[in-house]
Structure 1
Amino acid sequence: MDALAEIDLNLMCDEAVRDPHTYFGRLREQEPVFWNERHRAWVITRHADLSTALRSSQLTAERISPFTSAVTSAAASDEVDDTFRILEDWLVFKDPPEHTRLRKLVARAFTPTVVRARTEEISRTIRQLVAELDGEADLIREFAYPLPAVIIAQMLGVPPADRDLFKEWSDKLTSLVFGAYGREDRFETAARGMIELRDYLVDLIGQYERHPGDNLISVLLEHEDGDTLSRQELVATCTLLLFGGHETTTNLIGNGMLALLSHPDQLALLRAEPHLIGPAVDELLRYDGPARATVRMVKDPHEIGGRQLSKGDRAFLVNLSANRDPEAFEDPDRLDIERRPTNHLGFGVGIHYCLGAPLARLEGQLSISALVDSYPGLELAADPDTLDWHPTMLSRGLVHLPVRTA
């Protein structure tokens, strides 16, 4: 471990939050698989190792139960207990066969046909928010943050008057799921938000059970090959759709716009050739996507990158580092919207590949296109080096993104 002597092994140190590509790049070069005693976890940073690990049945996504045991003793309450019971039913925290069954039932809500059918509704929402930007604006607070929560609320069938509540509930969940450091009350805050959201969803699900509508809840209530989601599973799935459809898409748009505005040549290319928006979004996911790391637990002892992992160990799979690995991408620190990086790990890989990827791509493409088209003079209103990033272990997102629209 002498190779790491000059590196701060606090994965939430200032450099790791502010400039994680440089920080994890050094780790990838010097010790691509190492045991981090401070965090009591393996840190894995190479693309090839992540690709293997994310597909491996020797690692498990079922990490809520051990986390619950560690947390509830320090933050015990009925609300906290109920919150973790809901999280345990999220399919992202399941292994086969439970994961296989749940994914099959939930995937009905994200088929290409379902997503395409929402394009005009999503475009209308985006145009409305874009039109409200004027002069100097905070692109996170005024656009990238409210947009995904409004869209998933629309898709779930939430009445317009209640959609602001969804943004608040999602914000409370973020501090728990993504591991917000410096928030001593994050468990209690998340629990209050989760219970309020659960109670709201129980009523909404009951409404659409009696009177189905054109929304995802009605789709998820349907039977598939004689099976259907239980009420508990349906509530958990709706909370996951809200959370998964909000935080990561906000950061995709925010990080993506920062990257484009910091690379005028690439922004100009996108303006000149708008058909590149598809590969551009995938390149932005690779270059500085919202997924900082993925957590897995070791189910069976095995070796990765020449290191022996033991049963019960925790592992941080650093997606952000893998997406800048020179063994996988030529000139990886260069933004190139013509690259077409089909092997990036922004949405993961394997059985846990992001179920909402088609929707996230659509929102990213429509949002970035609308901003670029609507404001030819759009520019940063702050030095990129002075911008603040949320100090979370598993995600990467800006606190604010000040811009001038003209």
Structure 2
Amino acid sequence: MSIETDVDQNLICDEAVRDPHTYFSRLRDVDPIYWNARHRAWVLTRHADVGAALRGTDLTAERITPFASAVSTAAASDGVDDTFRILEDWLVFKDAPEHTRLRRLVARAFTPSVVKARISEIEQTITELVADLDSSADLIQEFAYPLPAVVIAQMLGVPPEERDLFKKWSDQITALVFGAYGQEDRFETAAAGMLELRDYLVDLIEHYERSPGDNLISVLLEHEADDGDVLSREELVATCTLLLFGGHETTTNLIGNGMLALLSAPDQVDLLRANPDLVGPAIEEMLRFDGPARATVRLVKNEHMIDGRTMSPGERVFLVNLAANRDPEVYADADRLDVERRPTNHLGFGVGIHYCLGAPLARLEGRLAISALLDRYSNIELDVDPASLDWHPTMLSRGLVNLPVGLSV
């Protein structure tokens, strides 16, 4: 077996998008620390290497500034430049100590008590969405997408009649943040969505500054660290765009990928129906088996070696979460969904200082959503061949475009 003959160099080729587990498994077998000349990036696929890289300090998350500077000035409008400036303030693109500072200021909005206080609100949203499903339904467009979008909008204090605005803006930003390399106009498209979202949030923040409410914006506005530190207005706007974007993309894909995995393993559906308390471990197994994070991108900060390969400052690195989570050196029968597995060391939400801030909320929504579907419908079946399903062709995320199902009570 050789890289040249057995692995397509395009990391978002058709196979890598539709069946990344097979694609990256081959790459892991042939060369787990691989220099991909097409993308000018290292590709790491073993659990130990990906975990160590995420925990270590040899790589940097600060990739927006060099990426923005690499964009041709002829192709970059003022709107694109403004978009990059907003992204630069996202805490996911920061290293310590700035990341530590921002995370400390934002974390108050996602404490267990804050998330727990939203349970009844989330359950009500789920109940309404489930009740609206017909016998033939698209679980992505009619359930998995609107659920977290509504929840994060509620948490931010967005009026119900204005929540549909965010779908368009989020879709536009996705192409840039998650790496839709085949979309030639992704910079201008993302800029249009980001700047409209920014202007909307500036007005919303000003409203809650005058009249605080029961929402995350009001919490972030009132929060001061022990040393008196606060989020600047630019940081607050950037944080709200991150929460709105990240707060529903990840959860949508967790629910969608998780339901597809279950429906492709009827014995696991039966096991979960017979043992509803397994839904917590089942969510962890879904995150391992086919989680929403396809890969995490970093830049080399310090020259270092892995298995004799020298990584030099400035080089790009793709840490493939999906491949790490199917590593047979870590998980027995790794390609089988097992809702009783309890994989506490999976990398579905990352690890280290950049561990997903919204993980508790995503887990909660996932548990409640999947439990509600199984409780409401005695039979849920795929309406199409799984091989015909379309996946979003992005480098960093793993998510279905649609999930047609037949439902019976």
Q: What TM-score, normalized by structure 1, do the two folds share? A: 0.98
- Structure 1 position 75, deviation (Å): 2.6
Residue aligning to 1:333: 335
Q: Provide the C-alpha distance between the structure 1 equivalents of 2:171 and 2:2, rounded to a whole number of angstroms.
A: 40
Residue aligning to 1:371: 373
User: Do the aligned partners of 1:25 and 1:321 also contact (CA within 8 Å) in 2?
Assistant: yes
Residue aligning to 2:355: 353
Q: Provide the C-alpha distance between the structure 2 equivalents of 1:150 and 1:6, rounded to a whole number of angstroms.
A: 43
**Aligned with 1:236: secondary structure?**
helix
Residue aligning to 1:47: 47
**Aligned with 1:405: secondary structure?**
strand
Residue aligning to 2:225: 224
Match among 230, 233, 236 for residue 234 of structure 1: 236
Q: Provide the C-alpha distance between the structure 2 equivalents of 1:83 and 1:3, rounded to a whole number of angstroms.
A: 37
1:388 aligns with 2:384: no
- Structure 1 position 372, deviation (Å): 1.0
Q: Provide the C-alpha distance between the structure 2 equivalents of 1:399 and 1:212, rounded to a whole number of angstroms.
A: 37
- Structure 1 position 71, deviation (Å): 2.2
Q: Provide the C-alpha distance between the structure 2 equivalents of 1:243 and 1:273, rounded to a whole number of angstroms.
A: 34
User: Do the aligned partners of 2:3 and 2:27 also contact (CA within 8 Å) in 1?
Assistant: no
Q: Provide the C-alpha distance between the structure 2 equivalents of 1:149 and 1:354, rounded to a whole number of angstroms.
A: 17
User: Do the aligned partners of 2:145 and 2:248 also contact (CA within 8 Å) in 1?
Assistant: yes
Residue aligning to 2:152: 152
- Structure 1 position 371, deviation (Å): 0.8
User: Do the aligned partners of 1:134 and 1:405 also contact (CA within 8 Å) in 2?
Assistant: yes
Trace 1:239-318 onto structure 2 (pairs within 5 A). 239-318=241-320
Greater CA drift, 174-183 or 120-129: 174-183
Q: Provide the C-alpha distance between the structure 2 equivalents of 1:393 and 1:253, rounded to a whole number of angstroms.
A: 19
User: Do the aligned partners of 2:169 and 2:193 also contact (CA within 8 Å) in 1?
Assistant: yes
User: Do the aligned partners of 1:46 and 1:321 also contact (CA within 8 Å) in 2?
Assistant: yes
**Aligned with 2:38: secondary structure?**
coil
- Structure 1 position 150, deviation (Å): 1.0
User: Do the aligned partners of 1:72 and 1:80 also contact (CA within 8 Å) in 2?
Assistant: no
Q: Provide the C-alpha distance between the structure 2 equivalents of 1:151 and 1:190, rounded to a whole number of angstroms.
A: 23
Counterpart of 1:40, as a letter, is: R
Trace 1:86-125 onto structure 2 (pairs within 5 A). 86-125=86-125
Identity %: 76
Counterpart of 1:214, as a letter, is: D
Q: Provide the C-alpha distance between the structure 1 equivalents of 2:72 and 2:259, rounded to a whole number of angstroms.
A: 39
5+ residue gaps, structure 2: none
Q: Provide the C-alpha distance between the structure 2 equivalents of 1:54 and 1:365, rounded to a whole number of angstroms.
A: 27
Q: Provide the C-alpha distance between the structure 2 equivalents of 1:54 and 1:29, rounded to a whole number of angstroms.
A: 21
Q: Deviations over 1:35-58 (max 9, x none)?
A: 000000000000000111001111
Trace 1:160-179 onto structure 2 (pairs within 5 A). 160-179=160-179
Counterpart of 1:381, as a letter, is: D
Greater CA drift, 347-356 or 300-309: 300-309
User: Do the aligned partners of 1:150 and 1:167 also contact (CA within 8 Å) in 2?
Assistant: no
1:134 aligns with 2:134: yes
- Structure 1 position 9, deviation (Å): 1.4
Residue aligning to 2:34: 34
Q: Provide the C-alpha distance between the structure 2 equivalents of 1:152 and 1:192, rounded to a whole number of angstroms.
A: 21
Q: Provide the C-alpha distance between the structure 2 equivalents of 1:281 and 1:15, rounded to a whole number of angstroms.
A: 26
Q: Residues 263, 59 of structure 1: CA spacing in aligned structure 2 closer, same or farther, 3 A cutoff?
A: same
Q: Provide the C-alpha distance between the structure 2 equivalents of 1:79 and 1:212, rounded to a whole number of angstroms.
A: 31
Q: Deviations over 1:358-378 (max 9, x none)?
A: 000001111111111111111
Counterpart of 2:300, as a letter, is: V
5+ residue gaps, structure 1: none
User: Do the aligned partners of 1:170 and 1:246 also contact (CA within 8 Å) in 2?
Assistant: no
